[in-house]
Structure 1
Amino acid sequence: MEDLFAHSYPGTSAKTLFADVILPVPIPKWFTYKVEREFQDRIGIGYRVMVRFGNTKILTGIVARVHQKAPEAYLAKPLLDVLDDFPVVNALQIKFWNWMASYYCCHIGEVMHAALPSGLKLSTESRVQVHPDFDPEAPGFPMDERELLVLETLAKHDEMKVEQFEQLLPGKISHKIIKSLLTKGAVLLYESVREKYSPKTEQRIRLAQQYLAEKGLLQELFAQLKGKQKQEEVLLKYLQVLPVFQKPEQNTGGIVKSVLIDHGCSPSSIDTLVKKGILEAFKVTISRFDELETGQDQVELSPLQQQTLEEIQRQFQEKQTLLLQGITGSGKTEIYIQLIKEVLESGSQVLLLLPEIALTTHLVFRLKKVFGSKMGVFHSKYSDNERVEVWQGVLSGRFNFIIGVRSSLFLPFDSLGLVIVDEEHEPSYKQFDPAPRFQARDAAIMLAWMHQAKTLLGSATPAFESFYNAQTGKYGYVSLEKRYGNAELPYFHLADILADKKKNLLKLDFTRILREKIQEALNKQEQVLIFQNRRGYAPYLSCEECGWIPECEHCDVSLTYHQYQEELRCHYCGFKEKLPKACPACGSHKITTVGVGTERIEENLSLLFPEARIARMDLDTTRSKYGYQRILEDFGAGNVDILVGTQMITKGLDFDKVSLVGVVDADRILYFPDFRSGERAFQQITQVAGRAGRREKTGDVVIQTRRPDQLIFRQIMAGDYRGFYQQELRERKQFFYPPFVKNIKITTKHKDVKTAEQAALHLKNLLASIEAKKILLGPEKSLIGKIKNLYLFELWIKLEKSVSVQEQFKVQLMEAIRTLQGDRKFRPVRFLIDVDPF
């Protein structure tokens, strides 16, 4: 394995070479292919190759190693093609993929599939053409009208996609007709392979060079065009927009064709001048991203921020990872900017991780002013082509600074100097499905270590694991405990839902104090944020007569009512059905909503405050690429008085006019069945409270609860993170929870409930024999026992924190699962391993 990351083998063209290729399949090994002579000078680590996998599949693979040893177990197939002129993946990335596969108990092919943008993978599509030996005049099989229609259409084209025939013939009939024509030997069906990525181009126009060489030729040209007014207008407009005689070099680049059209020139006249050779048409590849100048905005630090920055720099000399705990509104972003500037000036790269796209909209605009076009943005709302351009921008050095969500960890960095993980406590950093089920914060620390870079974790309410590591000296630690400028911390109010209900003061789910505070803010023309971590109109419907509750046909969950679409929807599998007019169980029309979602809160607010302009920000309203941006721009411009939202509104938003934050149902977060529920409640409520009163004004926060006597609410109101941490830590130590143990959750999934349970039981028995300090819990039916018609059982492992013990245990765990999958009975069972589950 010593030549694992050797790049190439010069001077070996006379020898037979083989390439170990990583393929995007869930199989725990590389695949060896023979390198034909024509590719031997063009291949190395990190090149994309096209290979045949099995009998029919064509896949994109990444070369992990080039060597001269043929595989012993099988005859190596030849590579079909090398797709690149230079590597698109570097050796450090492959090393990172290997670590991720090992740590998170998955296969490197699954990591590669997650890492590469879709635009860098080949796609195959079925195409049809007329068989070259087919003679329509020859006697043979009779053709019906639909088959003749297909053949007539194909006669007009060299080839067509299978999908295109669906426009000719309805539904599944087109596939039957093509199958029939295949049987009769009239057509050929084949797979066409194409690259998904295509660069963005624009059509440009320029004056033919000979007319610049001699001015006399141009005068003759205008004489020839006399009477041809539209063509003359095109030429005059070109010379007006681009003064090529004063600056001849500008003619080479020409102007965009649409500019002439926008100035009133006729497209057909432009084309005529091109045909005559007077103008030249050509295409240029352009970026999909706007070019901005660097340094439009300068950042000045307060004395406290400068002191914090110097302390971070001092601790970075001794520690590779550092936790910055800064209260909401303390100005962590300004400190990030100074650190990023210093690293970029040293010639290294920087990655700033954010938990969700919602944050990128607000921060990108601000950071673009400082870093201009040297900064790239990478997130899932980008198109395939845009993501490939960012990837190539990092490869080429165009982007030295990337701001993005967890997937940006996979970009081809080669000289990272700093990784910043903002809001590092956020559960959004956890990838749940599909594999790899990684924690982006932890993976970022490992990525930085591989690059010998520094990692800065930033949060007002750090994750317990991070704070524990800082307190025990594994990480450095710096705190920032004052808000930036003269901003004051908000004033908290606890609203007792049950007390107001008894006194008949609860109206449409809002307590008296929250209604009064909203009205007060509206009177002052200030803005309000209302937080409820549940989308939809209501969690579920129920019949008042018999108690019937509509449930998903494929999952063990009730259907959520969405009023705007007038439908019931499953948030796990996407199943939908129309709202019933009567109870299907007893026929009663007394069907009522139970619980509160963001849709219902939006409606209730419009009834309570009809004069207010209200908007909603949740998964349903932000599905489009610019959904977040539009809502936040409206809110920032003052076009929205009240913004209702899920956890999206708790992160990083900074608006001057927000004076009130309302938490509709704090109990929903606090009493969720998870050992982290207290930690989550403290973090979410503290974060959303931080949006209130961000400048000189003191804001208000109203927390609605049925249990105002809970200690955690007093700790949140006092900002007593350390007190809450110490209390929770004692309980976690007593009952063996992180940060004192390593948690691994294994879920078995199968369409038969007994098979799923038996697979989990057999696995537990195999794991019990492994020598390690551990606690095995379960198997138990999952909290949601059935999803998409598959039954789920969970097995939890609490493992000692020794790195060597964990590594050995994971190897034996994977071996135990392979043993079970060798049993015919358990072969169809899916085993999902989640290391560090949230």
Structure 2
Amino acid sequence: MEFNKENTKDRLFADILLPLPLPRPFTYRIPDTEREKVNIGSRVIVQFGKKRILTGIIVKVHSIEPDVYEAKDIIEILDDAPSVNAFQLKLFEWMAEYYMCHPGEVLNAALPSGLKVSSESKIQLNPNFEDLEEKIPFADKELLIIEMLEKKEALTFDEVSLIVGKKSGSSLIKSLIKKNRIIVFEEVKEKFTPKIIKKVRLCPPYDQKGNMQELFIKLEKKPKQTDLLLKYIKLTGFLENPDKNTTGINKNLLIEESSLSPFTSLVKAGFFEEYEIVVSRFEEDDEESKYAEVRLSETQQSAKDSILEQFGEKEAVLLHGITGSGKTEIYIELIKNVLSGGSQVLYLLPEIALTTQIVQRLRKIFGDKMGIYHSKFSDNERVETWRGIISGRFSFVVGVRSSIFLPFDNLGLIIIDEEHETSYKQHDPAPRYHARDTALMLARMHHSKTLLGSATPSVESYFQAVNKKWGLVELTQRFGNAKLPQLIAVDVRKEKRDRKLHGDFTGLLTQQIEKSLHERNQVILFQNRRGYAPYISCEDCGHIPKCDNCAVSLTYHLYHKELRCHYCGSHESIPTRCEACGSNKIKTVGLGTEKIEDDIKLLFPDAVTQRMDLDTTRKKNSYQKIIEDFQNNKIDILVGTQMVTKGLDFDRVNLVGILDADSLIHFPDFRAHEKAFQTFTQVSGRAGRREKAGTVILQTSSINHPVIGKLLQQDYSGFFNTEISEREKFHYPPFYRLISITFKDPDAGIASKGADRLFGKLKYFIPKEQILGPEQPLINKIRNYYLEEIILKFERNKANLPAIKFKIKEAIEKVLAETAFKNSIIVCDVDPV
């Protein structure tokens, strides 16, 4: 979208969307030198306040000068073509309004860091400095800095600290500024740097095969250089095809296992030429990508045809297919259809862990036309995907929730796999969006279609489908000859009474693990808690160490030998004595993945056991390494958290153990039963995914709980009917919409008083029966802030939500304007999960 430059007045202004929590864009003047580069959606560098240098986006160009403040000049327009398109700007606006945040907060979340310009404080000599007659005295270290600045035009603060010592660096800079000898300025630089590799090729005339003999004669008495030349010829295949010299060879490949000296000599002599090229950070196929054939079964083909037929009438279709029913093959065929029609496809996954297997599979089919986007990628890799979409290199992207922000301009299909997953929801910071719901809006903006897939759909999504708002397609059989696993619930209390427990493992689970290992099969053990144990406790006085910043107990991590808070990240060493009574009788309480791994290694010392949780997968490729090792049968038993439940497909897994079903079932949340049913079904789906039926053993103390009953019967429909009637009865989604408001303050009394004050304002325009609270949440202190929570309920399709949200924002602003609440924070979460 380009501004018409012919119809402008003398002065031009641009409204710039800044990545800050501001209610509206900020106006800047467009310098005459930059007018030709002005485009809506282009990135600009601007100064905000006295010192801040920011990257903003042009959202409007006009000739109206602001009357409240003097417009500063745009420092620089970074883009020749826009980095953000009209669809994205429209989406940012919708998200800010719907999720009750600022457009700048959406922009900050949307733009990868590599597209944001950073500024770095530097110092230089003051060109206007005049040493008057009284002679300004300078300390020795100050003179050292001045001397360095005379040799080097500018220095960073870090460089100054290295020159004079870290402790005195900042004080010396302040002193020199006060004496007017130096000035501070911000050097602005773009973060994205292309990947450059150094290459080597033969220089003319030796790039001709006929001149090769002459070159060998010249190097006759130089064996090391001759060897390097021979290596080049062998690696490039130059003698068979001299054209290979044009593309040359990677310098590192040529000189590995060799000293640099012979190579340098060949370059100086004019025999070799060294040059640089910009390359992609992603693997590229040598051959043009060809769609590999995927053969659908009759059931899958029928499901695909039904999806396409329902897309004729519906914007969205829910594909409810049991685990192992072959949903991915249907996705692939639909993606091919859309791409062949010239449109783009976004394939959303809830977790990075899921991308490993699926990306490998999709890469074989779609080649380098497929882009990948997730948070484990570096800034530069994410920028390459972003720019690859703009340039047309990537027409199909697989990614996690942040992929909805990518610059698509012709979306034909969005696939939301495992649509029920709560990890599609962003919790902090703003925007607190749900990628599934935002993707549905994005598809509507592009007039495209959305396919949602799950073995255990969210209650809200299934409700939309059975009530005909969305289409519904169901797959009730596993693909091919694969059989559903046998589910067995084991009563932990009875096992304890009968003394059959082996630590935290029931007798049946222990026997089945032993049997699986004997038959050379693999085992997955699921526990929804990482760490060694949820907490430690003193046997004498019962004291439990808690986090100083949050109202939670510290989790015991044996591997790192520390107690760690999973909310704020603080950690401390493991105490040898109780800090309350001094006793040395300290025991671990509960069960975490680390302890399970430890116990399994004791019970089955010959088995190779690996843990997959947040602690073992922090590095970029750690997910991939664990999954590949498990796939290649290098691991016998995989212990993990939610990561092991989702979408992974392993041939030899015939046993899954769910170690503590009760912690999920009895969690105090209206969605607890839904989440438990989904999690248990998903992890059960990892067992027996070929012709042999697997076994799932679920350890519980609530053997007669309705959720356990429906799970054993593998009856999603029955579970849904029970759950939906409860939701309707107690006014919860999908019948009502929720907005959670959290009042935070470092003082518990002020947090309580502030929440009451806000409640008093809300009740003027929201009926009391629709307001729950204020009350302290389950965890009432996080990162040194005390919390009070208010939940608002609004009947779906009856309340005027945009108007109500506007009034809520007004009420919040009025409360925060009061002096008593100057340190308070109020957070709104629309559609909390």
TM-score (normalizing by structure 2): 0.95
Residues 340/560 of structure 1: CA separation in 2 closer, same or farther (3 Å cut): same
Q: SS at the partner of 2:72?
A: coil
Q: Which moved more, 1:499-508 or 1:87-96?
A: 499-508
Give the deviation of 1:827 after TM superposition: 3.4
Q: 2:100 aligns with which of 105, 111, 114?
A: 105
Give the deviation of 1:224 after TM superposition: 5.2
Q: Are the counterparts in 2 of residues 343 and 418 from structure 1 also a CA contact under 8 Å?
A: yes
Q: Are the counterparts in 2 of residues 128 and 190 from structure 1 also a CA contact under 8 Å?
A: yes
Give the deviation of 1:797 after TM superposition: 0.1
Deviations 1:723-744 (A, max 9, x none): 1111111111111000000000
Q: SS at the partner of 1:522?
A: helix
* CA distance in structure 2 between the partners assigned to 1:754 and 1:65 by the alignment: 45
| 1:254 equivalent in alignment to 2:248 | yes
Residues 639/149 of structure 1: CA separation in 2 closer, same or farther (3 Å cut): farther
Residues 137/233 of structure 1: CA separation in 2 closer, same or farther (3 Å cut): farther
Q: Are the counterparts in 1 of residues 208 and 242 from structure 2 also a CA contact under 8 Å?
A: no
| 1:76 equivalent in alignment to 2:102 | no
1:391-470 superposed matches below 5 A = 391-470=386-465
Give the deviation of 1:145 after TM superposition: 5.8
| 1:796 equivalent in alignment to 2:791 | yes
| 1:824 equivalent in alignment to 2:815 | no
Residues 647/91 of structure 1: CA separation in 2 closer, same or farther (3 Å cut): same
Give the deviation of 1:625 after TM superposition: 0.2
* CA distance in structure 2 between the partners assigned to 1:414 and 1:324 by the alignment: 26
Give the deviation of 1:758 after TM superposition: 2.1
Q: Are the counterparts in 2 of residues 772 and 809 from structure 1 also a CA contact under 8 Å?
A: no
Equivalent position amino acid for 1:261 in 2: I
Q: SS at the partner of 1:41?
A: helix
Structure-2 residue corresponding to 1:286 = 279
| 1:659 equivalent in alignment to 2:657 | no
Percentage of matched positions with identical amino acids:
50
1:702-781 superposed matches below 5 A = 702-770=697-765, 775-781=770-776
Structure-2 residue corresponding to 1:86 = 81
CA RMSD of aligned residues (A): 2.4
Give the deviation of 1:277 after TM superposition: 4.3
* CA distance in structure 2 between the partners assigned to 1:685 and 1:474 by the alignment: 28
Residues 551/772 of structure 1: CA separation in 2 closer, same or farther (3 Å cut): closer
Residues 803/230 of structure 1: CA separation in 2 closer, same or farther (3 Å cut): farther
Q: SS at the partner of 1:784?
A: coil
Q: Are the counterparts in 2 of residues 348 and 417 from structure 1 also a CA contact under 8 Å?
A: yes
Q: Are the counterparts in 1 of residues 746 and 823 from structure 2 also a CA contact under 8 Å?
A: no
Residues 507/173 of structure 1: CA separation in 2 closer, same or farther (3 Å cut): farther
Give the deviation of 1:73 after TM superposition: 2.4
| 1:558 equivalent in alignment to 2:553 | yes
1:484-523 superposed matches below 5 A = 484-523=479-518
* CA distance in structure 2 between the partners assigned to 1:496 and 1:138 by the alignment: 93
Q: Are the counterparts in 2 of residues 567 and 576 from structure 1 also a CA contact under 8 Å?
A: yes
Residues 24/608 of structure 1: CA separation in 2 closer, same or farther (3 Å cut): same
Q: Are the counterparts in 2 of residues 13 and 37 from structure 1 also a CA contact under 8 Å?
A: no
Q: Are the counterparts in 2 of residues 465 and 738 from structure 1 also a CA contact under 8 Å?
A: yes
Q: Are the counterparts in 1 of residues 209 and 239 from structure 2 also a CA contact under 8 Å?
A: no
* CA distance in structure 1 between the partners assigned to 2:635 and 2:627 by the alignment: 9
Give the deviation of 1:270 after TM superposition: 3.3
Give the deviation of 1:101 after TM superposition: 0.6
Residues 215/516 of structure 1: CA separation in 2 closer, same or farther (3 Å cut): closer
| 1:366 equivalent in alignment to 2:344 | no
Structure-2 residue corresponding to 1:694 = 689
Structure-2 residue corresponding to 1:639 = 634
Give the deviation of 1:633 after TM superposition: 1.0
Residues 386/137 of structure 1: CA separation in 2 closer, same or farther (3 Å cut): farther
Count of aligned pairs between the two proteins: 831
Residues 696/138 of structure 1: CA separation in 2 closer, same or farther (3 Å cut): farther
Structure-2 residue corresponding to 1:591 = 586
* CA distance in structure 2 between the partners assigned to 1:772 and 1:413 by the alignment: 42
Structure-1 residue corresponding to 2:317 = 322
* CA distance in structure 2 between the partners assigned to 1:504 and 1:173 by the alignment: 67
* CA distance in structure 1 between the partners assigned to 2:86 and 2:262 by the alignment: 53
Equivalent position amino acid for 2:570 in 1: F
Residues 694/222 of structure 1: CA separation in 2 closer, same or farther (3 Å cut): closer
Structure-1 residue corresponding to 2:645 = 650
Q: SS at the partner of 2:749?
A: helix
Q: 1:580 aligns with which of 556, 568, 575?
A: 575
Q: Are the counterparts in 2 of residues 772 and 805 from structure 1 also a CA contact under 8 Å?
A: no
**Contiguous gaps of at least 5 residues in structure 1:** 1-5
Deviations 1:549-588 (A, max 9, x none): 1011111111111011111111111111111111111111
| 1:271 equivalent in alignment to 2:264 | yes
**Contiguous gaps of at least 5 residues in structure 2:** none
Give the deviation of 1:643 after TM superposition: 0.5
* CA distance in structure 2 between the partners assigned to 1:109 and 1:665 by the alignment: 43
Q: Are the counterparts in 2 of residues 500 and 506 from structure 1 also a CA contact under 8 Å?
A: yes
Q: Are the counterparts in 2 of residues 92 and 414 from structure 1 also a CA contact under 8 Å?
A: yes
Structure-1 residue corresponding to 2:33 = 38
* CA distance in structure 2 between the partners assigned to 1:193 and 1:56 by the alignment: 12
Q: 2:112 aligns with which of 113, 117, 122?
A: 117
Q: Which moved more, 1:252-261 or 1:155-164?
A: 155-164
| 1:57 equivalent in alignment to 2:52 | yes
Equivalent position amino acid for 1:450 in 2: M
Q: 2:523 aligns with which of 525, 528, 541?
A: 528
Give the deviation of 1:767 after TM superposition: 1.7
Structure-2 residue corresponding to 1:3 = none
Residues 525/140 of structure 1: CA separation in 2 closer, same or farther (3 Å cut): farther
Equivalent position amino acid for 1:288 in 2: R
TM-score (normalizing by structure 1): 0.95
Q: SS at the partner of 2:5?
A: coil
* CA distance in structure 1 between the partners assigned to 2:618 and 2:60 by the alignment: 41
Q: 2:474 aligns with which of 449, 465, 479?
A: 479
Q: Which moved more, 1:63-72 or 1:461-470?
A: 63-72
